[in-house]
Homo-oligomer: A and B are copies of this chain.
């Protein structure tokens, strides 16, 4: 059965920040026990297909008895190979139409957008959710676009036609204003990956998100 997609706290695993496959597996285990609602394995250029495959398999295993879905960034073949719950593609990855054709309708499909022009060209009937960002300047993604800031994010949130997560430079200290735009969830990388106390970091994030959501009544 297809796992539900709850975008509230969406963990993007960075293989380097986590310290390889074992680090990603440990991070995921603790983060999911403490409130993470979705997990994405992010692309890492230096990873070979074999490493990707084994990382994805190990993560699928960790998430197998949880309600938390695993999404694979970019590598549609890896997603198919391990029967992941979904795929996330960026603007320069395999086009959405092709990706949807390859994965069928039983897998979640997310798309990254950075600005209004990209948002206006989203094929809404093919996409399940958006990743909007970077909201703030980020250090974990080398090829990140210009940061949108809160005003531009608000405009994008008001225009979009499907759920979305905000990503890029978001942590416990600045997530409230992001959540207050009405966006469904927050995606984090370094706010969890590489943190000394992953349980505590995750708990604080989810608590703060829920508080902010309560304040705006969602």
List A residues at the B interface (Cβ < 8 Å). 45, 48-53, 74-78, 80-81, 89, 91-95, 98, 101-102
Top 3 nearest A-B pairs by Cβ distance? A48-B92, A76-B77, A49-B93
Q: How far is the CA of A51 from the CA of B91 in the complex (A)?
A: 11
Residues of B within 8 A of A80 (CB): 76-77, 80, 102
Q: How far is the CA of A91 from the CA of B53 in the complex (A)?
A: 13
Q: Are B77 and A49 in contact (CB under 8 A)?
A: no
Interface of A is mostly: helix
Residues of B within 8 A of A50 (CB): 91-95
Q: How far is the CA of A75 from the CA of B48 in the complex (A)?
A: 11
Q: How far is the CA of A184 from the CA of B102 in the complex (A)?
A: 34
Are A95 and B53 also in contact (CB < 8 A) when A80-B77, A102-B77 are?
yes
Interface CB pairs A-B, < 8 A, 27: A45-B45, A48-B93, A49-B74, A49-B89, A49-B93, A49-B94, A50-B91, A50-B92, A50-B93, A50-B94, A50-B95, A52-B94, A53-B94, A53-B95, A53-B98, A75-B77, A76-B77, A77-B77, A77-B80, A77-B94, A77-B102, A80-B80, A80-B102, A81-B94, A81-B98, A81-B101, A81-B102
Among residues of B, the one whose C-beta sits closest to the C-beta of A53 is: B94
18 further contact pairs, Cβ within 8 A, besides A49-B92, A49-B93, A53-B94: A45-B45, A48-B92, A48-B93, A49-B74, A49-B94, A50-B91, A50-B95, A51-B92, A53-B95, A76-B77, A77-B77, A77-B80, A77-B94, A77-B102, A78-B94, A80-B80, A81-B98, A81-B102
A21 to chain B, nearest CB (A): 14
Q: How far is the CA of A78 from the CA of B95 in the complex (A)?
A: 11
Q: How far is the CA of A98 from the CA of B82 in the complex (A)?
A: 9
Residues of B within 8 A of A48 (CB): 92-93
Among residues of B, the one whose C-beta sits closest to the C-beta of A79 is: B77
Among residues of B, the one whose C-beta sits closest to the C-beta of A48 is: B92
Q: How far is the CA of A83 from the CA of B13 in the complex (A)?
A: 31
Among residues of B, the one whose C-beta sits closest to the C-beta of A43 is: B49
